[in-house]
């Protein structure tokens, strides 16, 4: 009798939370993904497919216990902020972002909703996390590379095109990662024997005029840094490099797949699969603040021999031996 009275006396203090928890468990969890692409690009679509597949492998099935909402937006700050406001209004359980272009506006808009970034360059410098080991806030995730990788692009350019003495570095000067990448490249320029000059990717006009200006000098090459803004002009950059006969080094394989000469960078698809693991852990109750930011575990070197032949270059056997893939 006393036991029944005790349970009944709990009323809304105990029974209601249990009922509410059960109802929440039956409700699909919402994960929003924001990517800086205006149209469906194979580069981004493959990343989305990897994330979706990895989530499914962890038991999160879109349309059943998961509602996966994709937001595609141009790499424009105004457009991104508008999209961020709209997605946050829907109260997602987790938001998956890319690098600084989308993660920055997200964290300016919320310090409560968990955010998992998949390709940040400098999350500490950008203010996304307090430290890599202890993020401390509502964001964590995966880095696209360590800044030291930027130096390897210049070294690689010299290896595949030894005559190069000047290089245009295409970068986004409005982000800390864009500034940092150029600074690292510049710091090793004299040792490599290449003079480097920045090329703005602020808009198509600046990009075209900047590359054309660099191309007026003899023995010139190009380096493309990591940025959603820069990546938006991927096809244009590859086209101009071919037209002006400029050897170019890119940060990911999508450029080489579209006709670029050579790329060296992290396997971003692998990062997407790892990000799914963090989404899973957050949905199960862990906090982003307690999940360390991880650096890439795999880098890939991809060479396009057709492009090398068109440029009159013979790729050294030492570079081909290190390549993860060679496009014949």
| DSSP string of 232-249, one letter each residue | TTHHHHHHHHHHTT--EE
Q: Which fold has domain 149-265+300-327?
A: Rossmann fold (3.40.50)
Give the pLDDT score at 39: 66
SS3 172: coil
- Range list of β-strands (E), 54-205: 66-72, 94-97, 115-120, 139-143, 166-171, 195-200
Report the half-sphere exposure of 270 (CA within 13 A, side-chain side): 14
What kind and span of H or E run contains 33?
A: strand 29-35
Angle of helix 100-109 versus helix 77-89 axis, rounded to 10 = 50
Closest CA to 35 of 78, 122, 86, 95: 95
Q: What is the per-residue pLDDT for 307?
A: 97
pTM over 0.85: no
User: Strand 248-250 relative to strand 139-143: parallel, antiparallel, unpaired?
Assistant: unpaired
Residue 170 confidence (pLDDT): 97
According to DSSP H, which parts of 193-267 are helical?
204-215, 228-231, 234-243, 253-257
The fold of 28-145+268-298 is Rossmann fold (3.40.50)
For residue 122, the model assigns a pLDDT of 85
Q: Report the chain (328 residues): mean pLDDT per 10 consecutive residues.
A: 38 40 67 84 85 97 96 90 96 95 95 95 90 97 86 96 97 86 95 96 92 96 91 92 97 92 91 96 98 90 96 96 94
Task: State residue 11's pLDDT score.
Answer: 43
Q: What residues does each domain of the chain span? A: 28-145+268-298, 149-265+300-327
The Cα–Cα gap between 225 and 278 comes to: 27
The side-by-side arrangement of strands in the sheet containing 139-143 is 66-72, 29-35, 94-97, 115-120, 139-143
| pLDDT value at residue 162 | 97
Cα dist from 244 to 86, 211, 213, 257, whole Å = 43, 9, 11, 19
Place of tokens 């002009």: 233
Tokens standing for 326?
A: 């060679």
pLDDT of 40 reads: 67
CA-to-CA distance for 162 and 199, rounded, in angstroms?
22
Do 28-145+268-298 and 149-265+300-327 come out as alike in CATH topology?
yes
């Amino acid at each position: 009798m006393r036991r029944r009275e005790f349970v009944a006396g709990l009323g809304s203090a105990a029974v209601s939370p249990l009922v509410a928890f059960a109802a929440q468990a039956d409700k699909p969890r919402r994960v929003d993904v924001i990517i800086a692409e205006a149209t469906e690009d194979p580069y981004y679509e493959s990343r989305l497919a990897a994330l979706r597949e990895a989530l499914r492998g962890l038991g999160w099935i879109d349309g059943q216990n998961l509602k996966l909402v994709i937001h595609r937006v141009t790499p424009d700050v105004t457009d991104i902020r508008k999209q961020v406001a709209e997605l946050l209004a829907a109260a997602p359980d987790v938001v998956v972002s890319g690098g600084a272009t989308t993660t920055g506006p997200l964290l300016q808009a919320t310090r409560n909703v968990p955010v998992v970034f998949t390709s940040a360059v400098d999350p500490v410098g950008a203010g996304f996390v307090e430290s890599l080991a202890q993020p401390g806030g509502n964001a964590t995730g995966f880095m696209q590379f360590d800044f030291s990788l930027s130096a390897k692009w210049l070294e690689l350019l010299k290896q595949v095109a030894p005559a190069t003495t000047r290089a245009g570095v295409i970068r986004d000067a409005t982000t800390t990662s864009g500034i940092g990448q150029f600074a690292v490249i510049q710091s090793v320029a004299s040792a490599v024997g290449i003079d480097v000059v920045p090329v703005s990717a602020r808009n198509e006009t600046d990009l075209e005029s900047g590359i054309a200006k660099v191309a007026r000098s003899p023995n010139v090459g190009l380096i493309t840094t990591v940025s959603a803004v820069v990546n938006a002009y991927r096809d244009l950059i590859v086209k101009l490099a071919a037209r002006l006969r400029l050897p170019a080094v890119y940060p990911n394989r999508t450029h080489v797949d579209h006709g670029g000469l050579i790329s060296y960078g992290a396997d971003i698809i692998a990062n997407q699969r790892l990000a799914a693991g963090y989404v899973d852990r957050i949905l199960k109750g862990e906090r982003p603040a307690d999940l360390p930011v991880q650096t890439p575990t795999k880098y890939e070197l991809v060479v396009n021999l057709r492009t090398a032949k068109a440029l009159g270059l013979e790729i050294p056997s030492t570079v081909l031996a290190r390549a993860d893939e060679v496009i014949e």
